[in-house]
Amino acid sequence: MLFELHEPVVALMREVGRDIVMPRYRNLAAHEISEKAADDFVTVADRESELRLAEGLSDILPEAGIIGEEACAADPAILERAGEGLNWIIDPIDGTGNFAAGQPPFGIMVSLADGGTTLAGWILDPLTGRLCHAMLGGGSHIDGEHVQARESGGEIPIAALAVYFMSPEERTDIQRRSQASFTLVDIPRCAAEQYPRLVLGQNDVSVFARTLPWDHAAGTLFVNEAGGCCQRIDGTPYVVGDLRRGLMGASSPRLWDRAASILFG
């Protein structure tokens, strides 16, 4: 079933990127951008993208429910069902803050989960057209080519740490622990970009505080199926519907273990 879904999902995502997202890029009026919470933006393009994706995904697989970021913002009770049964999970524009500012990166992310297990995930960069996808047990691919996660190869591992949703105490602790052991780089503020960086050898380690399913279901599967390692800080798997804080990805299991020992040991 999963392989049969791939082409229709990709066609839908590319259509939404072409017809809804990109026409609004660097073309948003002030009233078309708002804040759902501090430093958490939404635009008219997010809402239009989610509506079209939800409609199209429901046509592709009618028996699956819909868990969309903007729908959950309007009705938080929807998120409570994320780990129950078969669901499409939609991030209509990941990296909305970048998108609203007229700068890359940003992306569209879709995944399919069943009972908390991510079965398939797709990550589209509408600017470049790059399409990352993975299926459970089927490996990871970029633009149709099978990919294997690789380390950056640097003497000191490269880490991108998303600390802005951490408490001041957590932030201070992880920054102190990381300074002598990692080359720290800026995060892209876009999970749709951060996860590919772990697979492509650009970053070795990434830490996330919030673990909402639209941000992480597709990317976690993509890294793991590529041979990297993405799991909870305590070493347990990422499960859709489990909203505990804390998630770490690495380009290899070896680096995951090393980073966990340094950052959280």
What integer pLDDT is reported at residue 40 of this predicted model?
Answer: 79
Distances (CA, A) of 4 to 1, 8, 135: 5, 8, 12
Tokens of 11: 């066609």
What is the reported pTM?
Answer: 0.96
Domains in the chain, please, with CATH?
2-147 (3.30.540.10), 158-264 (3.40.190.80)
Summarize pLDDT for 93-151 with one digit per residue, the tens: 999 999 999 999 999 999 999 999 999 999 999 999 999 999 999 999 999 999 999 99
Summarize pLDDT for 150-164 with one digit per residue, the tens: 999 988 999 999 988
Report how far residue 207's alpha carbon sits from residue 218's, in angstroms, rounded to the nearest whole number: 16
> Helices 44-60 and 2-16, interaxial angle, to 10°?
150
